[in-house]
Structure 1
Amino acid sequence: MSNVKHGTRDMQLNDADGSVRIYLRGRPIVLYIPTPAIDTYDLHKVNTPPQSKLKLDWVYGYRGRDCRSNLHLLPTGEIVYFVAAVVVLYNMEEHSQRHYLGHTDDVKCIAIHPNKLVVATGQVAGTDRREGMPHIRIWNAVSLTTLTVIGSGEFDGSICCLSFSKADGGNYLCAIDETSDHNISIWDWQKGERGTKVTETKCSVDTVVCADWHPLERNQIVSCGKGHVSFWSLDNGGMLYKRMGVFESREKPRYVTCVAFNQNGDVLTGDSNGNIIVWARGTNTIARLVKNLHEGSIFSICVLKNGNIVTGGGKDGRILYFDSSLEPTGEGAQIEDHFGGIRTLSEGRGSQLLIGTTRNCILVGDIEMGFCPAMLGHTEEVWGLAAHPTLPQFATAGHDRLLQMWDSLSHSVVWSKDIGEQAQSVCFSPDGNVMVVGCVSGKWLVIDSESREFYTHHSDGSEPLQVASFSPDGALLAIGSRDNHIYIYQVNEDAKKYSRVGRCMGHSSFITHLDWSTDSQYLRSNSGDYELLYWNPGVCRQIPQSSSLRDVDWSTHSCVISYETIGIWPEGADGTDVNNCARSGDRKLIATGDDFGKVKLFSYPASQPKSISHSYGGHSSHVTNVTFLQDDTRLVSTGGGDTSVLQWVVN
């Protein structure tokens, strides 16, 4: 026996039976080396990284559900917004995207410099304390180069609001963090290598939702949030002074939800009662109250270049137009319910408006032509992902009950359907005509991939169905559940009808991954306690002598625990670090998604304990799934909590 220390594990090679033993969380896992490789297997050999690399090609999604003022038109003709750890610059006319990838965790806020060339973005306090410290990155929107990184190590909480000063040409940057005091800090961002903090003070114990510099008054800032609006002055000595907005005898709103400035320099605030309050320039008193414009909150007020004013409702989904003195012009629009409420409004080209919604959609249009989606996204965790077997398309399914089909070449949604159930997994039949969606409730649905027609549904247990997979010959369907069982069905009538064969019982934890053999005779599975088991699915029996299956050819490779994936486990990994893996069709590459927001690309097989990969950021939470598309030219990854879907080109 020769052995090598590998992080926290002792990995052993057993020459007698041609097996290796690895340890995950101290649990020994025996893996059998395929016969052709037994004589040459060397624990100390290094698996070199692949020649192929990934380049981020397209980002599907937008973070509107809990962020504001995060949609802006740049002079380049691009609209800039963010989702996960990516800032997207999207040119609608050319239907092209560029990406700023400097952040290590969720981007939470954005500000555009008055020169429209410089952008500041702030990120959350990440799970990984080394990489994920909250900070602000200031970068050039044309070259995408980072100009400066400020506040690293100085913020205790996520950064939720950013604004560049306007009346002085943008010398200062104001930031508010999400600590209990919601500190407000002012930065001379061009001074020194990392900017210089001018001052910092407590903003409010209540939630703060926005802060903005006055466009005409130097050194004036207005912030607002739960039950308050604050008027700040920065004096020449760098001290900040606050005056609270006085509501007098009027009913104080629960939330002051947004701030804007009209052309005279008066301050306009929208609130949770659907009112706009006008605060006369330079004062903290109410000059005028315009009541009940919207049902529920006004989340956004946009003052257009011509002085007219547009408001957006978060609950009623209405857009209302006013002249510069807040008299209604009689124009308005209603956003369809399924897009969500209006979270942010911004002036686009010509008469166009850009709208970000609470259901993570971006709409573009005007009163005449109506509003069309420029970007649709998921609104909750995304776990289900499957590549169409013959077309350059893929499907995603999430806890938001949405099943969506995407086209990877046109970068667009082919269709989107509310299936009425929280979805956990999805797969295609071998011919691509039928999809099976496994749900959180233990129910699974069969849907036509073109017409979206429901064919049938079944239920197995009451736990989430983590994985579903058709056998390569299309005769059987295997469904792995969180209840530790794999359910096997016979597939009839063009995959429209199913009859249960039985269930494979033997795992002592929930099923995480499944692979079929190329000849459809065998099944292998991983579980939450790091087991690798083999099955005869036709009779739902476990095959205990796994050494007899060392030379089986597997049709897919999604099992993260196997001989070919020894090297995807980082040193000292616990068994939950790597969430998923996928092999390319040409069997040269294997991609993984992990708990640190990284997509990694290895040479296949990654059977050496030391296997070197290329690593890519962009997701901010666990990468819940990865898959190569049908011709291996693209890879798709899903980020659970960050709701994003990233498409990568394989070069």
Structure 2
Amino acid sequence: MDIHPSRELVASGQKAGRDRKSQAHVRIWSTESLQTLYVFGMGELDMGVTAVAFSQLNGGSYILAVDSGRESILSVWQWQWGHLLGKVATLQEGLSGAAFHPLDDNLIITHGRGHLAFWHRRKDGFFERTDIVKQPSRSHVTSVQFEPDGDVITADSDGFITIYSVDSDGAYFVRTEFEAHTKGIGCLIMLGEGTLLSGGEKDRKIAAWDSLQNYKKIADTKLPESAGGVRTIYPQRPGRNDGNIYVGTTRNNILEGSLQRRFTQVVFGHGRQLWGLAAHPEDELFATAGHDKHIALWRKSKLIWTIQTGYECVSLAFHPFGTALAAGSTEGHLLVINCENGAVMLTLRVCGSPINCVAYNQVGDMIAMGSQNGSIYLFRVSRDGFSYKKVNKIRGSQPLTHLDWSMDGNFVQTVTIDFDLLFWDAKSLSPERSPIAMKDVKWLSSNCTVGYLVAGMWSNRYYSNSNTIITTCSRSASQDMLISGDADGYIRLFRYPCMSPRAEFHEAKVYSGMVACGRFLYGDHTIVTVGGTDASLMVWDLIEE
């Protein structure tokens, strides 16, 4: 991703999807409206986009893109017209970035693992290559910046900053090199007054260096461990020398502050896979839980609280009274959290397998947990939702993915990893062998992705992919809408019940991988979805047409 010199446009690269229509491309969009203005690279970029960058000298008329195919092809475009000005195969594994030289729009620098090279684009569109780092080299060049006179500044995975100057013959040589951080440097940025900022991914330090004093250290600071290492730095007000910066971290957080004052969190994000999602029963709140061992409570896009637990959690459920939040972990633990302040009230070892789904019955005196080992664990719950006692275990054989209680609390329905719908008698702890006997049972929720009343989500005649696999669904509280997510990254809104393969829907393709979970918030005006492996969280407003 790169920002245009005008700061009104952003370019971002999109990798190819699973179907042939979803090709890798570059999208240029407005920072104000977020609307896409230009799209290019369809059919030219292979697999994905490793790097994009605007030119500087001509005001951003050119843009470069490096694809993530086997040949790592570098291409230069006049993006307003979609014209390809030239391309070359860098044949470079581990290429991680590229940039235009600020004083020459026909000079491009690429960098990566054991790689730092200059590419001069001739008028005929061909490129001439000059390697600055000679092969073989173990160092990984992680970031590139420039001095005002055009000298090149690089950072590497060993924690060194190197400055390259040009001699009278036009050859680059190392002018200065020094150790700036312990191990890898995540980013560099040159500020207008000649101060270079560097951020360490491992040591979590941000350091300031005076380029006018041969890179004498001015100051440094260290981020807290919970924030993660430094991945990127950007000034809050470019062109002003107030020292205030934004910092993006390796744990998916954005902080603001300066080297003279402490940093505060402005954006929280889950840093690893995000699977757990639950909607509050009496308020427009929702909770998320991920493999980063964080559980967070949100009010739409506002973070209420976040806690770090000792477990990777993949399933969540609110107690019907809204006082407690239950979380199931990959190690088979049940965590019970006070929704008021995020305090962990209870941790129970339920089994030795991941708890993939969890749900309370309507009155809140029982909780059911579906496990990867195929069993359902039933616990009795106190009125306040904070005390739990094991009642029974219903043995199964296939891993469970989704679970619903009946309205009367007598039955549980589950979906297995092979998309088998199973019914269980919660009183006798036995499977219900006759599905026909269950046809009149009313269900408290509709989170199971298989069933007669949601059959229209599957093999719908209007789908572009006839082999669509539904990974999540949820019914609105008013029982007239159904949200679904699939393995191709689509979310869809249906009317409920949804039984016909001709059922109409609204859809959006928003994830490059599967949709892990989707839920209606209280009031049915908002939908929340999480993306599983890509850790993305999205909030949607429902608008009447």
Give TM class, smaller chain: over 0.9
Please state how far the C-alpha of 1:492 moved relative to its aligned partner.
Answer: 3.2
Of 191, 202, 219, 2:106 maps to 219
The alpha-carbon distance between structure 1 residues 232 and 515, as it changes in their structure 2 partners (threshold 3 A), is: same
Q: Does 1:267 align with 2:152?
A: yes
Percent identity (aligned):
32
| Distance across 2 between alignment mates of 1:145 and 1:645 | 20
Distance (Å, rounded) in 1 between the aligned partners of 2:61 and 2:520 = 46
Kept after mapping to 2: 8 A contact 1:501/1:538: no
Question: Aligned with 1:127: secondary structure?
Answer: coil
Residues 1:597 and 2:492 are matched in the alignment: no
Question: Is 1:448 matched up with 2:344?
Answer: no
Judge conservation of contact 1:317–1:334 (CA < 8 Å) in 2. Answer: yes
Deviations 1:136-191 (CA, angstroms, capped at 9, x unpaired): 12334345444432221122231111112212232322111122332211222233
Pair 252,205 (structure 1): closer, same or farther in 2 beyond 3 Å: closer
The one of 127, 142, 150 equivalent to 2:18 is 127
**Residue of 116, 125, 128 corresponding to 2:7:** 116
Q: Tell me, yes or no, if the aligned pair for 1:173 and 1:189 is still in contact at 8 Å.
A: yes
1:336-389 deviation per Cα after TM superposition (whole angstroms, max 9, x unaligned): 111111111112124321211111111122233322222111122111111112
Q: Partners of 1:568 and 1:139 in 2: how far apart?
A: 33
Say whether the 8 Å CA contact 2:458–2:468 is kept in structure 1: no
Q: Which runs of 5+ in 2 are unaligned?
A: none
Residue number among 226, 229, 243 corresponding to 1:341 in the alignment: 229
2: CA distance, partners of 1:144 / 1:496: 44
1:637 aligns with 2:526: no
Residue 202 of structure 1, aligned match among 39, 64, 89: 89
Say which is worse superposed, 291-300 or 495-504, in terms of deviation. Answer: 495-504
Per mean C-alpha deviation after superposition, the further-off stretch among 565-574 and 353-362 is: 565-574
Which residue is equivalent to 2:371?
A: 481
The answer on whether the counterparts of 2:87 and 2:125 sit within 8 Å (CA) in structure 1 is: no
* 2:523 is equivalent to residue 620 of structure 1: no
Rounded Cα–Cα distance in structure 1 between residues aligned with 2:158 and 2:489: 39
The TM-score normalised by the length of structure 1 is 0.78
Q: CA deviation at 1:233?
A: 1.1
* Structure 1 residue corresponding to 2:434, chosen from 535, 538, 545: 545
Distance, in Å, in 2 between the alignment partners of 1:220 and 1:531 is 59
Report what 1:31 is aligned to: none
Unaligned runs of 5+ in 1: 1-109
Contact preservation (8 Å) 2:411, 2:425: yes
What residue identity is the alignment partner of 1:353?
A: I
Task: Report the 3-state secondary structure (helix = DSSP H, G, I; strand = E; otherwise coil) of the residue aligned with 1:610.
Answer: coil
Counterpart mapping for 1:7-406 below 5 A: 110-131=1-22, 133-191=23-81, 195-246=82-133, 254-281=139-166, 283-325=170-212, 326-328=214-216, 330-349=218-237, 350=240, 351=242, 352-406=244-298
Residue in structure 2 matched with residue 471 of structure 1 by the alignment:
361
Distance 1:268 1:574, change over 3 A: same
Structure 2 counterpart of 1:16 = none
Cα distance in 1 between the residues matched to 2:149 and 2:477? 63
Q: Report the Cα offset of residue 493 of structure 1.
A: 6.1
The number of equivalent residue pairs is 533
C-alpha contact (below 8 Å) 1:267/1:281 kept by paired residues: no
AA aligned opposite 1:260:
Q
CA apart distance, 1:608: 2.2
Q: Which amino acid aligns with 1:327?
A: Y
CA-based RMSD:
2.2
Counterpart in the other structure of 1:422? 312
Closer/same/farther in 2, CA of residues 544 and 287 from structure 1, 3 Å limit? closer
Aligned partners of 2:204, 2:26: CA distance in 1, in Å? 32
Structure 2 CA distance, aligned partners of 1:491 and 1:539? Answer: 19
DSSP-derived class of the 1:463 partner: coil
**What do residues 591-649 of structure 1 show as CA deviations (whole Å, max 9, x unaligned)?**
11111111111111112232111002222211111111122121110101110110111
- 1:501–1:539 Cα contact (<8 Å) kept: no
Higher RCO (CA-CA < 8 Å; seq separation 6+): 1
Q: Distance in 1 between matches of 2:269 and 2:454?
A: 32
- Residue 535 of structure 1: aligned partner: 424
Once structures 1 and 2 are overlaid, which stretch shifts more, 489-498 or 398-407? 489-498
CA distance in 1, matches of 2:45, 2:467: 32
Match for 1:182: what amino acid?
A: S
Secondary structure of 2:538's aligned partner: strand
Q: Is the 8 A contact 1:231 1:284 kept in 2?
A: no
Q: Matched residues in 1 for 2:520 and 2:93: separation?
A: 46
Q: What's the counterpart of residue 30 of structure 1?
A: none
Task: Give the counterpart letter for 2:5 in structure 1.
Answer: P
Q: 1:157 to 1:549 in 2, by over 3 A?
A: closer
